[in-house]
Amino acid sequence: MPDDLNWAIGGEAGDGIDSTGKIFAQALSRAGRHVFTSKDFASRIRGGYTAYKVRTSVDRVESVVDRLDVLIALTQRTVDENMDELHEGSVIIYDGERTTMQDLEIPEGMIGLDVPLKSLAEDAGGAIMRNVVALGAACEVAAFPIDNLAESLEKRFGGKGEAIVENNKRAAELGQEYVQEHYDHEFDYDLETTDNDYVLLNGDEAIGMGALAAGCRFYSGYPITPATNVMEYLTGRIERYGGTVIQAEDELSAINMALGAARAGARAMTATSGPGIDLMTETFGLVATTETPLVIVDVMRSGPSTGMPTKQEQGDLNMLLYGGHGEIPRFVLAPTTVSECFHKAVEAFNLAEKYQTPVYLASDLALAVTEQTFPPEEFDMDAVEIDRGNVVSEDAIDEWSNEKGQFQPHLATEDGVSPRAFPGMAGGAHMTTGLEHDALGRRTEDTDVRIEQVEKRTRKVETAREREDWSPREFGDEDADTLVVSWGSNEGAMREAMGFLEEEDVSVRFLSIPYLFPRADLSADIEAAEEVIVVECNATGQLADVIEHDALTRVKRINKYNGVRFKADELADDVKRALGESAEVTA
Amino acid sequence: MSSQVRFTDFKSDKQPTWCPGCGDFGTMNGMMKALANTGNDPDNTFVVAGIGCSGKIGTYMHSYALHGVHGRALPVGIGVKAANPNLEVMVAGGDGDGYSIGAGHFVHAVRRNMDMTYVVMDNRIYGLTKGQFSPTSREDFETSTSPDGTHQSPVNPLALALAAGGSFIAQSFSSDAQRHAQIVQEAIEHPGFGFVNVYSPCVTFNDVDTYDYFRDSLVDLGEDEDYDETDYDQATEVILDSEKEYQGVIYRDDESVPYNERMGLTEDLSDIPSGAPDDAMDLVREFY
Ligand SMILES: Cc1ncc(C[n+]2csc(CCOP(=O)(O)OP(=O)(O)O)c2C)c(N)n1
Ligand code: SF4
């Protein structure tokens, strides 16, 4: 058996599945092993099948596989739900004294370990510890030192007093001893420990941590699965830096509060999932046209509508790229791993402020609930740089004011980026509006000013295209005939899949796309490949559409955006001009 | 903040496009006077405006300002104040903006009691969209979308505010210039959410709730020596009295503590270091 173990605990929601799984995952991580966790959960609080799965290896693990080696089953349904992943030699730990588990039939070739979890827990001090008894039994099966589990129990229960910690350690020992005494199987596992230091965290936490590192001082949000953890992480931590979290009355309010805070000069963020993005869309346009830097996190889940709140999907790409009426400059970033959630959050704040543009950070449920181990240096705080863009100082405010001394927050500069003055700054008082406005921020319907402002906002994106690196993450054989492209959380699974493919002599080149807008032009890569495959967690292939679109022949374009409809004669001129002919049609 | 600030410093050089005679002129002048009288200046003031004729106010004033989307000015103001409590934050909009599309935010902003001022220009009609009934329109009010009345009772914004736990509830009349400015000034001085519903007649679309109507029916609580604005029961009586229109500070809770104070928000959050905080590695180590 490889050193790679797939372990799970499953039962009913409310059975303490999550905390038990986390204790085990932390024990493994602290023992210097890599961990990758995943969760099966239903959208209800009590009752309903739920499971916490841990994959662990000394080498990095970056995905889940279709295999379960050790299963702690607190209910019959846990076994049924996982039958497909169980295999010959799989170990099932269960409590045969439990009425619902008495008739459990262990399939041929699998090993059933009937351990009286509840009564052993009572011996250790209370039935509540039955899951810990099971963990002790699992340590015996996996040959994982129970001392490492004890350490994790200390961390978990230390705050509740010495006695509770001791009882839990005893419960684990009783579980281990029971298996030693009653079963004489030779288990194949040997979970070695290493001296490596790892931290274990999920994507929501990594986004929150990235936000704090990047100087985010204001967060407003409305609870929604699977984005709520971002708010829960920031609450209680952001205060250390003087910042605040506001739980708003709804997403409309959340994004408007964040907009207000951003205009007051704070680095501000909100996070939600698809239904919340829908509600935020009107204000998203306001954020963009007022050129307010704002980070909006979309932790995607299955849609449409309330869809499947606890299931994975990458279905919001079109919404993030195109959502909102009118034309809205924006950036769309999509982290591809848990640690990239941190890095992309930091980057999102810098992009937002450098270009005074809203930034969508598209995470997904798989990243949000996956806990993954990393060496702490992966989150190198010294490398975090904060770039606030063109914030003017009080001394320099005159340079950005017009001849009447009025500050120009929407000045159409060459690179499209305007000066920014924070409220409170003397001489900087200005307004801005969601209506089309002039350099002073005041409403206008002047066609020339309209054109100037549209072009200015668009130019910011062009400037960013030139100044920033939008390259994909590249893996595999550069010269392979097959090109695989994906975005978001699929990266780990695809990388591991490449290993399997290699064993069968299938070599692929893999581009993982973290920047969805602006995005790298893949036309050349696509032309160079014989086969192009786009991998994404949705039904219609939203990234595939975009890639096909990008690689099409370039078309000539005629565009008008001064607020006046096309006129026939002018249009005829435009067509001739587009065809390279000199234009002079008269009506 | 200097004492030399005059209320005209809050005027922008943009000419209002309001109809001649619109109540919003008086409402705005009073707001500017109140801001100047309370020692504010354009550089420390942030005005958030709603959408509607009333919402144009941000354009005609000079200060830091944002003109947002319909109904959602209040949360913007809350965000501004949370991020920099040193700023004087004033939110303004119409009755449609505040009590219809923005009704949810209104109730929650009252509850939150952030130290800011909310001025609603109540003309009992939708002005900007040219004369449809609004949430404060009378039940028998005939408009293009209510040819035989609205078939629903009007919202009582003062009652809404009181029920939501409002700590400062007032009403004024835009053409009673001095009283109006004084009431807004008290709202600004109140530590907490100062809410003022201002009767600002629409001369173009509302021929019922006119200057004459308000002038004739208005009772000034400031002239009633027996009226105690900190008395909840008296306030309730006035607010639920559908026979008369009142002006003055109707209710004030001097014990209430504003949200920003409860949350310990005192800092200007725009000031951040150029890299991660010094102790940022602690954030990582938590995950051992
Ligand atoms: C989402 C949305 N719906 C509708 C409108 C159109 N609209 C603009 S102003 C307004 C009503 C304004 O009424 P009120 O707040 O009473 O302001 P007034 O014009 O009377 O001052 C409406 C419905 C809009 N701008 N946005
Ligand atoms: S329509 Fe009514 S509310 Fe609007 S500006 Fe004219 S008078 Fe004022």
Question: In angstroms, what separates the C-alpha of B248 from chain A's closest C-alpha?
Answer: 30
The confidence score (pLDDT) of residue B140 equals 97
| Distance separating alpha carbons of residues A215 and A523, to the nearest angstrom | 37
A382:B275 CB<8 A: yes
User: Is residue A121 within 8 Å of A132, Cβ to Cβ?
Assistant: yes
pTM of the model: 0.95
From chain B, the residues in CB contact with A433 under 8 A are 58-59, 66-67
Here the tokens at position B191 are 């530590």
Q: Residue for token digits 């905080």?
A: B277
Is B18 touching ligand 1 by the criterion CB < 6 Å?
no
The confidence score (pLDDT) of residue A42 equals 77
Residue nearest to atom 12 of ligand 1 (CA): B52
Question: In angstroms, what separates the C-alpha of B284 from chain A's closest C-alpha?
Answer: 7
Q: What is the DSSP letter of A127?
A: G
A200:B287 CB<8 A: yes
The confidence score (pLDDT) of residue A566 equals 77
Cα of A138 vs centre of ligand 1, distance in Å, is: 64
Residue in chain B nearest A211 by alpha carbon: B276
Q: With 70 as the cut, is the pLDDT of residue B3 above it?
A: no
Is B127 touching ligand 1 by the criterion CB < 6 Å?
yes
With an 8 Å Cβ cutoff, is A209 touching chain B?
yes
* H or E stretch covering A287: helix A274-289
B103-112 and A251-263 helices, crossing angle to 10° = 60
Q: With 70 as the cut, is the pLDDT of residue B215 above it?
A: yes
Asked whether the ipTM of the predicted complex exceeds the cut of 0.85, the reply is yes
| Nearest CB to A379; choose among B81, B270, B284 | B284
Is B203 touching ligand 1 by the criterion CB < 6 Å?
no
Q: With 50 as the cut, is the pLDDT of residue B288 above it?
A: yes
Three-state DSSP class for B55?
A: helix
User: Rounded mean pLDDT of chain B?
Assistant: 97
Phi, psi of A514 (to 5 degrees): -90, -15
The confidence score (pLDDT) of residue A576 equals 76
Strand B245-252 and strand B168-173: the pairing is antiparallel
| Closest to A208 (Cα-Cα) out of A191, A190, A221 | A221
Residue in chain A nearest B82 by alpha carbon: A261
Residue nearest to atom 5 of ligand 2 (CA): B18
Phi, psi of B245 (to 5 degrees): -110, 140
From chain A, the residues in CB contact with B83 under 8 A are 217-218, 260-262, 264-266, 268
Q: Residue for token digits 């006119």?
A: B210
Is B136 touching ligand 1 by the criterion CB < 6 Å?
no
| Distance separating alpha carbons of residues A57 and A36, to the nearest angstrom | 9
| Distance separating alpha carbons of residues B166 and B113, to the nearest angstrom | 7
| Nearest CB to A249; choose among B67, B108, B287 | B108
* Helices and strands: H and E segment counts in chain A: 18, 20
User: Is residue B59 within 8 Å of A442, Cβ to Cβ?
Assistant: yes
Name the percent of chain B lying above pLDDT 70. 99
The confidence score (pLDDT) of residue B207 equals 97
Kindly give the confidence (pLDDT) of every residue in chain A, 587 residues in length, as a single tens digit, with 9 standing for 90 and above: 456 899 999 999 889 999 999 999 999 999 999 999 999 887 777 778 999 999 999 999 999 888 999 999 999 999 999 999 999 999 999 999 999 899 999 999 999 999 999 999 999 999 999 999 999 999 999 999 999 999 999 999 999 999 999 999 999 999 999 999 999 988 889 999 999 999 999 999 999 999 999 999 999 999 999 999 999 999 999 999 999 999 999 999 999 999 999 999 999 999 999 999 999 999 999 999 999 999 999 999 999 999 999 999 999 999 999 999 999 999 999 999 999 999 999 999 999 999 999 999 999 999 999 999 999 999 999 999 999 999 999 999 999 999 999 999 999 999 999 999 999 999 999 999 999 999 999 999 999 999 999 999 999 999 999 999 999 999 999 999 999 999 999 999 999 889 889 999 999 999 999 999 999 999 999 999 998 999 999 999 999 999 999 887 666 787 788 777 877 777 778 877 888 877 665 55
- DSSP characters for A160-174? G-HHHHHHHHHHHHH
The confidence score (pLDDT) of residue A587 equals 54
The confidence score (pLDDT) of residue B52 equals 97
| Distance separating alpha carbons of residues A453 and A438, to the nearest angstrom | 7
Cα of B201 vs centre of ligand 1, distance in Å, is: 16
Best mutation site among B204, B206, B209 for ligand 2, i.e. most ligand atoms within 8 A of its Cβ? B204
From chain A, the residues in CB contact with B66 under 8 A are 259-260, 263, 290, 431-433
pLDDT digits (tens, 9 = 90+) for B258-286: 999 999 999 999 999 999 999 999 999 99
| Residue count (chain B) | 288
The confidence score (pLDDT) of residue B2 equals 47
The confidence score (pLDDT) of residue B48 equals 98
Say whether the peptide bond before residue A304 is cis (omega within 30 degrees of 0).
yes
Interval B211-218 mean pLDDT: 96
Say whether the peptide bond before residue A514 is cis (omega within 30 degrees of 0).
no
